[in-house]
Amino acid sequence: MILVDAFHWITANPGVFFGAFNRHLLMCAISLGIALVIAIPLGILVARAPRAAFVAVNVAGSLRSIPSLAILSAAMPFLGIGLLPSVVALIVLAVPPLLLNTIIGIREIDPALLDAAHGMGMGRRDILWQIELPLAVPSILAGVRTSAIQVIGGAALASFIGGGGLGDFINAGIAIMNMPRLLIGALPIALLAILAELLFGWLERSFGRRR
C-alpha cells in the first residue's frame, strides 16, 4: 500500500524527512513573520487615506493574481537559488491578503466610535491601540489565515529554485514516478495547511466574539 510504503520510508530515513520538514517550516515562518511586519503597519497607515488605500488595494489585488511559480521564477534571476529567493517570493505571496484585510478591518470601524474617542480626549496612538486594532483583529487574522495557507502551499514550489523543504519529495516522486515518495511531501503539506486553517480560523472566531 502506498501510504504504508511512505511511512516505512520515513521511519527508515527520519533525518532526511525531518530535515526537509524543518526547512519547510522555517521558510514559512520567516516569510509570514516578515510579511506581518510589512503588511500590518502599511495597512494601518494607508487605511484612513482613501487614495492611498485605493492604490494599495489594487496593487495587492494585482499581486494576488500572479501564480506562485511565476513569483518564484522571477526571484531566481535576481537572487539566485536557495533559501533567500524562496523567502522573498513567499513574502510577495503573503503580503497581499494581510494588507487587504488590515485595510478592510480598519476601514470598517464605525467613524462615530472614533469621533467619540476623539471627543473623550484620546490621542491618535491611544485610539489605534485601544480601539482600532482590537476591532480589526478578526479581519487581520482572516488575512493571516489566507496568507499562511498560501505560503505553506507555495513553499512546496520553492524546491524548483533550490529552496528545499517538502517540495523536494514531491519533485522526486514525480521525476521517478514514485507515488510513496510524492506522498511523503504532499501529505505533510496538506496537514500543515489544514492545521493553519483550523488554528487561525479558531483565533478569528474567538476574537470576533470578544468585539
3: cell is 501510504
pLDDT < 50 stretches in the chain: none
pLDDT value of residue 211: 59
Using a CB cutoff of 8 Å and minimum separation of 24, what contacts does 124-129 make?
128/44
CA 146 to chain CA centroid, Å, is: 6
Among residues 110, 156, 99, 164, which one has the least CA distance to residue 132?
110
Put simply, whether the predicted model's pTM sits higher than 0.85 gets the answer yes
